[in-house]
Amino acid sequence: TQRCEVLYTDGVLVDYVGDEMFAMWGAPDKSPDLAFRAAYAAKRMMRSRAKLNDRFASILPSPFDFGIGLCTGEVWVGNTGSKQKFKYGPMGQTVNMGSRVQGLTKQWGVAALMDKATASFLPSDLRRRRLSKVSVVGMDKAIDLYELMSDEQADGELIQRYEEALAIFETGQRFREAVKAFGELIQKYPNDGPSMVM
């Protein structure tokens, strides 16, 4: 049996939406380390994914995968249902942003993405990299998008070289140099989705 990593890290499993799971941390009880708890749950899910893929490799047509979106901020929390059907959960821009961030995981070819607020609360041993500044559907401002890296992906050289190539790209003038830097990254890390996107 697999345990629910959301509950294991003191999160609240709010709802299932199709094949998605919607969860929150920091309510009803306040938690100063809610971003860490959410990220830790995500890391544990990524570890479980690897084990499940190994276990069922002989019967799966392709590896099992998923996308996780993490967003930290203020929300309104309470009953969003009715007297007939009680439904406790959060509402607001932070929830909307989390959904949009989760939706970007497929486009970037990664398992877990987060906003800058979430990344800023995490200890250095939870490896992440800033992918780019991105526009998000329905939001006025572009956001800094970060990848929460699995244990297998957390390669220090990959993170450093990606950040160097991104810095070149973000000058807005040295595009050929940026293409060369990302091209070299793809040569060494052919399965790195963010390098391919850039």
Alpha carbon distance 195, 198 (integer Å): 5
Written as six digits, the tokens of 43 are 């890391």
Residue 80 CA to residue 164 CA, distance in Å, equals 45
Predicted local distance difference test score (pLDDT) of residue 18: 87
CA end-to-end span of the chain, whole Å?
39
Distances (CA, A) of 55 to 12, 52, 67, 79, 84: 28, 5, 20, 40, 42
Contact, 162 vs 108, CB < 8 A? no
**Residue 188: what pLDDT?**
95
Query: CA 114, 116, 117 angle in degrees (round to 5)?
Result: 100
Write b or e for each residue in 83-109: b if 16 or more Cβ atoms lie within 10 A of its Cβ, otherwise e.
Answer: eeeeeebbeeebbbbbbbbbebbeebb
- Structure confidence at residue 2 (pLDDT): 61
What does the pLDDT read at residue 137?
A: 84
Distances (CA, A) of 93 to 17, 26, 54, 119: 18, 16, 38, 18
Quick one: DSSP state of residue 54? H
SS3 12: strand
How far is 114 from 39, CA to CA, in rounded Å? Answer: 9
**Run means of pLDDT, 10 residues per run, the chain, 198 residues:** 81 90 90 93 91 89 91 92 85 94 95 97 93 89 94 88 96 94 96 95
Handedness of CA 133, 99, 123, 108 (dihedral sign): negative
Sort 196 into a burial class: Cβ within 10 Å, 0-12 / 13-18 / 19+: middle
Tokens of 7: 């509950």
Q: What is the pLDDT of residue 157?
A: 94
The reported pTM is 0.90
